[in-house]
Amino acid sequence: MKQYLKHNDWQIIEEGFDPHYNRISESIFSLGNGRMGQRANFEEAYSGDTHQGTYVAGVYYPDKTRVGWWKNGYPEYFAKVLNAPAWTGIQIKIGKNELDLKKCKVSGFKRILDMKQGLLHRSFTATLPDGKKVKVDAKRFCSMADGEIGAIRYSITPINFSANATITFSVDADVVNKDSNYDEKFWNEISKEAKAGLAVVTAETKKTLFHVTTAITYAMHSAGKVVRGRVKANKKDKYADNVVTIPLKKEVETVIYKYAAILSSENHPKKKIQENAKKKLKDASLKGFDKLFSAHASVWAEIWRKCDITIEGDIAAQQGIRFNIFQLMQTYTGEDQRLNIGPKGFTGEKYGGSTYWDTEAYCLPFYLGTSDPKVGRNLLVYRHKHLQRAIENAQKLGFNKGAALYPMVTMNGEECHNEWEITFEEIHRNGAIAFAIYDYVRYTGDEKYLSEFGLEVLIGISRFWSQRITYSNAKQQYVMLGVTGPNEYENNVNNNWYTSYIACWTMEYTQHALDYVRRHDAAKFSKLMAAIKFEEKEETTRWADIRKKMYLGEDKKLGIYLQQDNFLDKELIPVKDLRHEDRPLNQKWSWDRILRSCYIKQADVLQGLYLFDDQFDNETIKRNFDFYEPLTVHESSLSPCVHVILASKIGYKEKAYEMYLRTSRLDLDDYNNDTEDGCHITSMAGTWMSVVKGFGGMRVKDGMLHFNPFIPDQWKSYSFRIEFRGHVINVKVSKTGVEMVRESGAPMQVVLNGTLTNV
C-alpha cells in the first residue's frame, strides 16, 4: 500500500516528483474520452522509468499465443490493446540541454487530475544541467465533447536566462507494446506528411488492418503576441514532426498549444481518413484551447450531475468514489455497441483491452443506475452479436447443437486469452452473461428484450450447461467436473458451488423466458424455435431434471456451501495469520503453493450469495461470510465490492467500511501493488455498487426500488442519484435519516426499510 497522493474531494494531487512512483502515477492520472485515452506520460522527453501508452478504442492486434505445449482448444491469439501513435510529445531543447526530468533538478513538482473538468495539470521548476532554470505549467485533456480531439496547453517561463529553444511537436507511430509476445512492432506506416504547422501520420495495424490517422498542429504565444519561430518539418519512418526554434526571454511566459485529431477506420472510411483528420484538426485549432476545453468541461458537468456520489465527513472516501466514477466514464460512454469495457480501460496494456465477465457482473448495474437504459442494452446486444462465435467456441471444445460458450476474454467474440490454462475452465462467465439479461430486464422492465435478443442467448447458454453437466452414478446426482470458479487461485476443481448454482439458475430463467416469449410474441417464438432447431420437450425436460438433481456441495455442520469438493481438507489458516512479506501471494508464492492453499483470490461462494441474495436468509449469508472472508486475500480488484455489499446486508458495518476503502482506493493507494500496470476500471463500477447496493441497500424487487440504508460511522452523510424506469430520484442518507427527492418523472413509490414510501 502506498499513500503518496493528497486527499481532496475533486482532485487527485501528487506533490513532489518521486521517479519510483512514476508508473503508478502514469496510470492514475490517465485521461480518456470513450474513444481514446492515454497514460499520464509527460509531454516533454523523459529518459527515466516510464510506461508509454496511448490507446484508441476498438483497435487491437491478435498477437500469436505463446505457449510451450500446444493443446487442442487453446486460443490462437491473445488480443492486445495497441499502444497507438503518440500525439502528446512536445520535446524542448534549450541550448544543448533537453528538458528531461530525469536529467534535471526538479522542484515544486505538482500533478493534479481535476476530475470535475477532466483535466490533467502538471507544474514544476526544472534546473537543467547547465544551471538554466525553467518553470513549466502543462494542461491537457481528451475532449469529451469530440472524442477525436485532444489538446495541450504547455507554458514555459525561463527564470534566470534568455536563450533560443527548439520545440519539437511530434506524432510518433513507431511505438511498441510492452506485452508484445515476440517483441514485434504492431504498426505499419501508410502515409505521413510534415509541413510548417502540420504533421500527420497514418498507421495500419498488422493483421487486423485498422487505420489510425493522427494529425497535429500547434500555436505559440508570448507577451500577448503570436510567436512563429523558424520551422523545420521532418519525417522519418512512422514519424512526422515540426521543430520550431523560438527565443525564450527571461521571466517571460511562452504558451504553447498543441492540438491533435485522432481518427480510426472504425469510424471513417480509409480513403477519407486523412482528409477528415486534417479537417477536424483545423476546426479544433480554430476554436482554440479555451473553447474546446469549455465544451469538454460542460460534458463533464453533465456527467457529474447525473452520476456523482457525495460523501460528507470523509474526504478519502469521497475522493475514492469520484475517482472511480471518473475513470469509468472516461472509459465507456455507452454510445457505441461495438465497444465494451476493458479491465484497464485506457490506462495500461494488461488484459489486452478485451471484454471479460467483469462487464456483465460488475459494470452493468452502474450503467443501469446512472444512464439511459440504452447503454445497458448496448452492453447486452454486444454479446448477442457474438452469439454465433460463442457457439463456434463451444464446438471447438466438443459441444454441439447450438450450445454457446462465451469467451473468457474477447475482442470480437473469439476466445483470446493468454493464460488459457488458468481461465479456460472459468465457464462461470456464461452464467454472468445470462444473469445480466435478467438484471437488465428486472431493472428496466424492458421484457421485450427477451423476444428480441435475450431468449436466444439464454438458450445457447442453457444448452451449454446441459451438455457440460454430467450424471454421477456414484452420487446419483448431476455434477460439474473440471471447472475454475471466480477464485482463480484454484484450477480444475469439481463441483464449484457458484458455477453449479448459476448454471441451474440459468436453466430456470431460460424456462421463464421461453414461457414469456411464447405468451407475448408467438410469431417471434415460432421463428426462433425453428431457426435454432429447439427440441423443446427434450431439452427443457433435461434442464428440469438437472435442476432437481444437481449436486450442490454443502457442509451441514458448518452450515456453509462448499466452494468445491474437498475444500475442507485444506489447511485453513486465516489470512490475518499470513506474514506481511508473503503478500500479495500472486507476487510472492509459487503457483503450485497458491493452488494448494486455502486462500481465495476473490468472492466465489460469496459471489453467488451476492447475485442471488434474495434466495438466502441473512443467517446463511453470515455463516458463509464468516467462513470464507477470513480466507480471502482480495487479490482481484473485483473482490472487495462484493464483500461490502454482503457485509452491509448482514450488518457488519466496520467490515463494509474497511472493504469500501479498499475498493474505492484500490488504485489510489495501490493496495495490490499493481497499479503501475494500469487502473482497475471494471471493479470501479463495484465501488459505485458498494455505496448504492451496499450502504444504500438498493435492490429491485417486483418492479420497485427497495432501500435499506445505513451510514458508516465515519461519514456524516452520503447521497446518490438513481435513474429508474423514467424516474430520477436523489437519495441522501445522513445520521438523522433518509431523504428522497424526485428530480424528474411521475410520482413513484419505493420501499424504504420495508415501508411503502411516496417519492
Provide the annotated active-site residues: 488
Q: What is the dihedral of CA 437, 439, 445, 446, to 10 degrees?
A: -20
Residue closer to ligand BGC, measured from CB, 23 or 429: 429
Q: Which of 32, 34, 343, 709 binds ligand BGC (CB under 6 A)?
A: 343
CB nearer ligand BGC, residue 30 or residue 636: 636
Of residues 479-498, those binding ligand BGC (CB under 6 A): 486, 488
> Residues 54-87, buried b or exposed e (16+ Cβ, 10 A)?
bbbbbbbbbbebeeeeeeeeebebbbbbbbbbbb
Least Cβ distance, residue 57 to ligand BGC (angstroms): 18
Beta strands 119-127; 133-142: pairing state: antiparallel
Q: Evaluate whether 156 touches 261 at the Cβ level (below 8 Å).
A: no
Q: Give 706: exposed, middle or buried? Use CB within 10 Å, 0-12, 13-18, 19+.
A: middle
Contact positions with ligand BGC (CB under 6 A) in 601-620: 601-602
Place of cell 547547465: 130
In the complex, minimum distance from the CB of residue 233 to ligand BGC, in angstroms, rounded to a whole number: 43
43 binding ligand BGC? (CB under 6 A): no
* From 346, 357, 406, 610, residue interacting with ligand BGC (rule: CB under 6 A): 357
CB of 59 to ligand BGC, least distance (A): 20
Question: Are 543 and 514 spatial neighbours (Cβ–Cβ below 8 Å)?
Answer: no
Q: Which stretch binds ligand BGC (CB under 6 A): 356-364, 506-514, 603-611, 617-625?
A: 356-364
Decide whether 516 or 671 has the Cβ nearer to ligand BGC: 671
CA distance 126 to 132: 8
Establish how many alpha carbons lie within 13 A of residue 592's alpha carbon, considering only the half-sphere containing its beta carbon: 0
Which set of grid coordinates corresponds to residue 120? Answer: 490533467
Which range binds ligand BGC by CB under 6 A, 30-38, 50-58, 217-225, 350-358? 350-358
CB of 426 to ligand BGC, least distance (A): 7
Buried b (16+ CB within 10 A) or exposed e, 603-615: bbbbbbbbbebee
Of positions 351, 366, 567, 715, contacts ligand BGC by CB under 6 A: 351
Segment near ligand BGC (CB under 6 A), from 154-162, 296-304, 354-362, 517-525? 354-362
From CA 664, how far away is CA 687, in angstroms rounded? 5
Residue 454 sits in the site that holds ligand BGC (CB under 6 A): no
214 vs 636, beta carbon nearer ligand BGC: 636
Determine if 636 is a binding residue for ligand BGC (CB under 6 A).
Answer: yes
Tell me, residue by residue from 660 to 699, as one string, x for binding to ligand BGC by CB under 6 A and - for no binding: ----------------------x-----------------
Number of residues that bind ligand BGC (CB under 6 A): 12
- Residue 162 CA, chain-centre distance (Å), reads 46
Contact of 727 with 750, CB cutoff 8 Å:
no
Query: How many C-beta neighbours within 10 Å does residue 472 have?
Result: 14
Which residue's Cβ lies closest to ligand BGC? 343
Can residue 638 be called a binding residue for ligand BGC (CB under 6 A)? yes
Q: What separation, in Å, do the N-terminal and C-terminal C-alpha atoms of the chain show?
A: 43
Q: Does 430 bind ligand BGC (CB under 6 A)?
A: no
Q: What is the closest distance, in whole angstroms, from the C-beta atom of residue 627 to ligand BGC in the complex?
A: 21
CA 27, CA 686: separation in Å to the nearest integer? Answer: 19
Interaction with ligand BGC in 386-415: which residues (CB under 6 A)? none
Grid cell, residue 388, equals 454465433
CA nearest 620: which of 529, 471, 497?
A: 497
Q: Indicate whether 332 belongs to the interface with ligand BGC (CB under 6 A).
A: no
Q: How far is the CB of 419 from ligand BGC (least distance, A)?
A: 9
Position 356 contacts ligand BGC (CB under 6 A):
yes
Output the smallest distance, CB 435 to ligand BGC, in A.
Answer: 15
Collapsed DSSP state (helix, strand, coil) of residue 205: strand
What is the residue-wise DSSP string for 511-548?
A: HHHHHHHHHH-HHHHHHHHHHTT--HHHHHHHHHHHHH
| Residues in contact with ligand BGC by the rule CB under 6 A | 343, 351, 356-358, 486, 488, 601-602, 636, 638, 682
